[in-house]
Structure 1
């Protein structure tokens, strides 16, 4: 064993697992730099670093010690993970030792008195205790994740947002299965054989998927929940208010108001019995530009959502009937969301719960400083700009890296507790 060494660390772990990173064999006050590296897009790595002074006990403990410099500040056991940013591999020390696998992480200890010490490990969304299979049967398209251990379990239908496909929902479903649930990541557009965009998606499609999920051998049909994010969060509330087989809801950065197709088509995003589900709409572009030029609205505000919702008749017609939900609800929103005002839009649901005397537990976790990108913890939150995969628009997720990281960590723990207690 080298004179400087890491405390015990796994060779593999789940992605949402918080690690206890410690360094030993140091002189009191000795300075070291810790780095975390993983493979990025071609020619880049995701990398972070932080420097520490050893305690009088001759060690550094990331759960106890704040860095004296680096990519994050304050005590944060997993700060090296969320503060990783995309950098040219040529500019990052030790990038040549980084595996090509983006799920592999290389930890490095640098000091002036010794050779660098490394520890490589792999993070996973699910391990060998979970089985995954792609599903294209009985009108259901997606991926099913289920624990291999025998016995019936609670289950979740997981739906993504306006990006389509199953990337977000499959990653979420895999992690949920790793915590003991059967989880179906359901595609509903953006995959071969399904509509190309979020436009007039029949709610009956999801009812069919719920029925299929309830029939699976390891599923307890009386304990099925739905989880979704963004437009999928809107969808989760809409499905639960429509189909009583859903017994709990987790809705990330959602809306209590129904919105139109995306990209806009003049229709609703959803249909029921062949008819558009009534939806609100944002201010028309011409009207918005006129209001901006006249100084009646702030150009970087969400007034283009809020002004139409000042009409009580519009709100009443387009509000999701959340009072019909047959179980507890957890809403998770971001107060610095730049995609849409998820905190305020979630409050429309909260107001309706209260006004209608909803008789199940409901909670709204709303995080200051957080952006639209909420979900599981320990992923990089440094980049907030992205190109929307369907519309091609350049968009800003909002939030600060630390604010979003903190929201992910706190909400993930509370979300798992919500499911344990209510499902």
Structure 2
């Protein structure tokens, strides 16, 4: 179990058969039932989902990064069959396996920290900028990152906290529905994001001549536009991202910059659990005039595009369209990766697979009473492939950002040379 705000409960469980000595090593043992099957050491974490008495569309994440996850782990046994439970609160978990009473063998509470020792959090309310800056221990200079999420709204800080714990100065930037920012994404002013870049690069702890930008889903259209329009943004990571302006109207320096595509609400399909999705495959076309002109970015700007092939929104089609558009213009400053069995949401390592979650803001101009107060969105994905994708992308993304923001910085190389000399 994992303790969440308001004592919400998320849980998972697995059935194992111990060896003749009653021992169990989940790194090699196969789960024979429960929330997952097979050898899956991180299975109890990846398959955490809302408990039966909770809303099925609750999303497990930390708004307050200073609070650790409380992971309660219990082992119960029936003869030589061991059931390992992972959960988030209380002890409501079943105490029988196939109708048999089970004896509690052990119980343990673990803490998972999101912030490493010495990481500093700075609340940001500078000019129009709203968010939180996470700084690694020490004076720096550190590579700077602007970090954004999609249509969830508010400010999501956990990825920035984890990036700062690994040497990046990361600005968790709010886009909408936070403080005095707009309530929706119907209008996006790129000047706001340019101001965020300028603020980040003005910090004495940050390498001042370039930065990176990371986004998922809807905010991908923002970071691709930043990489195209802002000379200081040299590394762009788009996770399941829109490669065209989606829903919003973009403005830059007071002028119209791009019109967003609209997905008709009639395209929204519900699954058996009531979560909605819409296949946007038809929009990902290299000749679509609404596609962000990423080929215009300068030679020092690099793109990393990561997508899951089990994304019910069809974002897997964004990769061939992106590649063709770049190669057609003789541009090779990009990397793409398609993760098998992975859905729309790819979190940092060992986060739970998010099958669906409730979104209050549906990015559509159309109005319908069925969606006016939000909807449960379907994200797709399978547990083990999603966990593998999380681990790989986290490593790949950090290496990509470190190379193109720190190692290729002319300022940083001169700084090192001066220190050596």
TM-score bracket for this pair, using the shorter chain length: 0.7 to 0.9
Judge conservation of contact 1:158–1:227 (CA < 8 Å) in 2: yes
Alignment partner, residue 370 of structure 1: 342
Alignment partner, residue 316 of structure 1: 289
Deviation at 1:42, TM superposition (A): 5.4
- Partner Cα separation in structure 2 for residue 393 and residue 87 of structure 1: 20
Within 5 Å, which residues of 2 pair with 1:10-409?
37-40=1-4, 45-55=9-19, 59-88=23-52, 103-111=69-77, 116-167=105-156, 170-261=157-248, 268=249, 270-279=250-259, 281-282=261-262, 302=279, 306=282, 312=287, 315-325=288-298, 326-338=300-312, 340-360=313-333, 362-381=334-353, 383-391=354-362, 392-409=374-391
Structure 2 unmatched runs, 5+: 55-66, 80-102, 270-275, 363-373, 406-421
Judge conservation of contact 1:280–1:318 (CA < 8 Å) in 2: no
Judge conservation of contact 2:303–2:335 (CA < 8 Å) in 1: yes
| Residue deviations 1:139-178 (CA, integer Å, cap 9, x gap) | 22100000122221111011121222112xx111111001
Number of residue pairs the alignment of both structures matches: 352
Provide the secondary structure at the position in 2 that maps to 1:127.
coil
- Partner Cα separation in structure 1 for residue 404 and residue 22 of structure 2: 45
Provide the secondary structure at the position in 2 that maps to 1:395.
strand
Provide the secondary structure at the position in 1 that maps to 2:326.
helix
- Partner Cα separation in structure 1 for residue 358 and residue 318 of structure 2: 23
Provide the secondary structure at the position in 2 that maps to 1:150.
coil
Judge conservation of contact 2:225–2:292 (CA < 8 Å) in 1: no
Alignment partner, residue 396 of structure 2: 414
- Partner Cα separation in structure 1 for residue 332 and residue 158 of structure 2: 32
Deviation at 1:43, TM superposition (A): 6.8
Classify 1:283/1:77 alpha carbon distance in 2 versus 1 (closer, same or farther; 3 Å).
Answer: closer
Provide the secondary structure at the position in 1 that maps to 2:289.
helix
Provide the secondary structure at the position in 2 that maps to 1:232.
helix
Judge conservation of contact 2:343–2:386 (CA < 8 Å) in 1: yes
Judge conservation of contact 1:336–1:368 (CA < 8 Å) in 2: yes
Provide the secondary structure at the position in 2 that maps to 1:111.
strand
Deviation at 1:131, TM superposition (A): 0.5
Deviation at 1:84, TM superposition (A): 1.9
TM-score normalized by structure 1?
A: 0.75
- Partner Cα separation in structure 2 for residue 378 and residue 311 of structure 1: 34
Deviation at 1:54, TM superposition (A): 3.6
TM-score normalized by structure 2?
A: 0.75
- Partner Cα separation in structure 1 for residue 320 and residue 253 of structure 2: 28
| Residue deviations 1:84-137 (CA, integer Å, cap 9, x gap) | 2222579xxxxxxxxxx8810012232358752222121121133201021101
- Partner Cα separation in structure 2 for residue 248 and residue 159 of structure 1: 14
